[in-house]
Amino acid sequence: MKKFKDIGNALTDAFVTDCRAAGFISTPRVSLTSGIDASTLFVGSSISVFKQDIFASSCLFPAKFVVQPCLRTRNLKYLFDENVLPQWGSYFVALGLIAPPDQGASMHRFIKDFLVHRAFISPERLVFRVNAEDADLVAILANDEMDTAVEKNQFPETYYRHVYGMPCFLGRNYNFGIRQTNGEVLDVGNLVVVEHNGVPAFIDIGLGVSTLISRAMNISHPLKSSVIADIMTIESTVSIKLADALTVSCHLLSEGLKPSSNSRGKILRAYLQAIPALADASGVPLSRVSEIIGRYFVLAKLGRSDLPERMKKYLFRYEDLKLSGSKTINEQLQNFF
């Protein structure tokens, strides 16, 4: 069986190839901690990379694309909640597109062709979810020549609306989902008509690579189809959360962020310090966790060959201090990175 890393790379390469063949312009990716989007602590979606173009009104012609690492930290508050398992991983790679507002139909065809011919999802498994009041989006779907299902008004209105953290910009979206073997439909991305003061300004499309793989292959969670799943067994809820904390910690540390009391550093610290408890609950010894970290740095090509050993020492020291009842854990750990 192919490794998930290879499957993800193949999808990403196919996306880039198709975008270039369509004449779309490549946009360089940025680091998670770049600060390019003032509305978020970390780059949380592909649209963050395009915001400067949007404000400069230079995004309209021609269409642009990006393959962008992203981090959304909403999972953090559920790491130790046994009753909640978020549907998504905190870290993911997004395939993003923006295009002029009159290209909704062509962008729909482009992304649908990608799903069918590159991700090998049969049209019968695709389900498009739209608000019936969005006449332009309904019209795009009505003109679709493939045999795919359209669901209207199955969710609250907020499901079909996007907020961008930009003054006067709001989005109206339809989502594309994939039907699983149990009949459930799970979303993989969306096409959004973004309006500025009520006037269509551009089209925004976003897909998560590991989410797409998991939905296409009927795998229950995106982290089970991500790069770290090539290294560790991910089955239980707590092992999914362990994989989540490990992935986030490795990527943020590789970018030079340090656990600290400031906003970004505090989030890293929370993910990092959750690892020992999650590992214990998963029945994974810290020695094995250290091995996973080392292999992940290599497989994900994160560089910084010194970091896996530093992470190992940090995690063992954190566990020792916690067991000793120390009241100054963070102070004693501040120089590990």
Cβ-based neighbour number of residue 227 at 10 Å:
23
pLDDT of residue 148: 84
Q: How confident is the model at residue 143 (pLDDT cuts 50, 70, 90)?
A: confident
Q: How confident is the model at residue 54 (pLDDT cuts 50, 70, 90)?
A: confident
pLDDT of residue 55: 66
Instruction: Please write the tens of the pLDDT for every residue from 62-74.
Output: 899 999 999 999 9
Averaged pLDDT for residues 131-153: 90
Q: CA 38 from chain center: how many Å?
A: 19
Instruction: Please write the tens of the pLDDT for every residue from 153-208.
Output: 999 999 999 988 888 899 999 999 999 999 999 999 999 999 989 999 999 999 99
pLDDT at residue 147 is higher than 80 = no
Mean pLDDT of the chain: 94
Averaged pLDDT for residues 210-223: 97
| Percent of the chain whose predicted confidence (pLDDT) is above 70 | 97
The C-alpha atoms of residue 192 and residue 201 are separated, in whole angstroms, by 11
Averaged pLDDT for residues 240-254: 98
